[in-house]
């Protein structure tokens, strides 16, 4: 489908109130472009070890709103036909009203036609079935080939929020799980995302998985992937919260009960996580970490040793590193 894009140049401090105001007149789903520095929480929720380079924040922001365009050129807002001129007039009136008590900056509006794209599903063209050694990872919209029916198969739909297993860091952890998962073992997955690591562990014979994540979107993502892989609800429990500093989450997760803890997250998050997570691990448990750039390998290995764990091995793929340790 086609969309009209209305892009407003404003100031960062006016973002929220403009979004709220235009939401009230039927414009939803704002795209925000600014250079506001990332918060500590936002950094924790990013599954990369090098954060994006951002320009210096000069207070400028761009808010883009998208309105569906019918084949006859009419725009559809709240299910009602309208046109670009009417929307422009309405938006300008709202912005001028806001100027009376708020510095909204330039307040100029650009109108562009977007490409004819199904945004919800367009990303699927980049996710095809692939192998991690002898494990085949398949999205729901692809058929499993006849010659692959006897393989270990994971059906994973990442949605728009989480990873697919294609990234080197995830593959590093999957290979470690293949080494250390034993029949019936208990696994804790910190930073669960799509649930791919927990589901892999269950397919390999683990008895039960607990996942934690900061993003509430992980709950439906994991649920959908559990169902796609015929994983019973009771085999994989999810909870939202920060296990590093939230005692309630730590208590819910439990102490000295896990045979394996997997954490595919930022090196800078692994450092404060490691001395906490040792309390969730049984004696003899393995701690499998990834999401670590090779330049930060020593930072994580040092954190592991300082927490009283024994370094077992370091594995690498490209510029990424996985550190595995044991609680003796």
- β-pair type (135-138, 152-155): parallel
Q: Give the position of tokens 């807002």.
A: 77
Is residue 301 annotated as involved in ligand binding? no
Rounding to the nearest 10 degrees, give the CA dihedral for residues 187, 189, 195, 201: -30
- β-pair type (258-264, 186-190): parallel
Is residue 289 annotated as involved in ligand binding? no
DSSP 279-311: GGEEEEEEEEEEEEEGGGHHHHHHHHHHTTPEE
Are 204 and 181 within 8 A, CB to CB? yes
Count, in order, helices (H) and strands (E) of the chain.
Answer: 10, 16
Are 288 and 250 within 8 A, CB to CB? no
Alpha-carbon dihedral sign for residues 82, 84, 89, 95: positive
Is residue 191 annotated as involved in ligand binding? yes
Whole-angstrom distance, CA of residue 297 vs CA of residue 306: 14
Residue 49: CB atoms within 10 Å: 22
| Residues making up the binding site | 170, 191, 213, 264
| Residues making up the binding site for S-adenosyl-L-methionine | 170, 191, 213, 264
């Amino acid at each position: 489908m086609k969309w009209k894009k209305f892009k407003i140049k404003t100031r960062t401090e006016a973002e929220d109130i403009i979004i709220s105001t235009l939401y009230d007149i039927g414009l939803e789903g704002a795209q925000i472009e600014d250079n506001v520095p990332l918060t500590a929480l936002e950094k924790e929720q990013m599954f990369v070890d090098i954060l994006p380079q951002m320009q210096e924040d000069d207070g400028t922001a761009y808010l883009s709103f998208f309105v569906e365009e019918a084949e006859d050129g009419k725009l559809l807002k709240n299910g009602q036909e309208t046109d670009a001129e009417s929307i422009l007039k309405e938006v300008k009136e709202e912005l001028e009203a806001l100027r009376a008590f708020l510095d909204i900056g330039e307040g100029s509006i650009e109108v562009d036609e977007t490409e004819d794209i199904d945004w919800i599903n367009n990303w699927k063209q980049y996710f095809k079935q692939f192998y991690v050694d002898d494990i085949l990872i398949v999205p729901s919209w692809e058929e499993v080939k006849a010659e692959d029916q006897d393989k270990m198969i994971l059906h994973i739909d990442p949605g728009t929020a989480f990873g697919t297993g294609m990234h080197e860091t995830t593959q590093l952890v999957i290979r470690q799980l293949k080494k250390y998962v034993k029949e019936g073992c208990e696994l804790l997955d910190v930073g669960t995302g799509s649930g791919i690591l927990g589901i892999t562990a269950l397919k390999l014979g683990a008895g039960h998985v607990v996942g934690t994540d900061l993003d509430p979107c992980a709950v439906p993502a994991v649920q959908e992937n559990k169902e796609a892989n015929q994983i019973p609800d009771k085999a994989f429990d999810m909870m939202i919260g920060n296990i590093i500093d939230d005692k309630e989450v730590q208590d819910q997760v439990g102490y000295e009960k896990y045979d394996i803890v997997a954490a595919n997250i930022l090196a800078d998050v692994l450092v404060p996580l490691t001395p906490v997570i040792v309390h969730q691990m049984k004696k003899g448990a393995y701690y499998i970490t990834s999401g670590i750039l090779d330049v930060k390998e020593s930072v994580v290995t040092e954190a592991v040793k300082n927490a009283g764990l024994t370094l077992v091995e370091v594995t690498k793929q490209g510029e990424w590193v996985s550190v595995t340790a044991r609680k003796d």
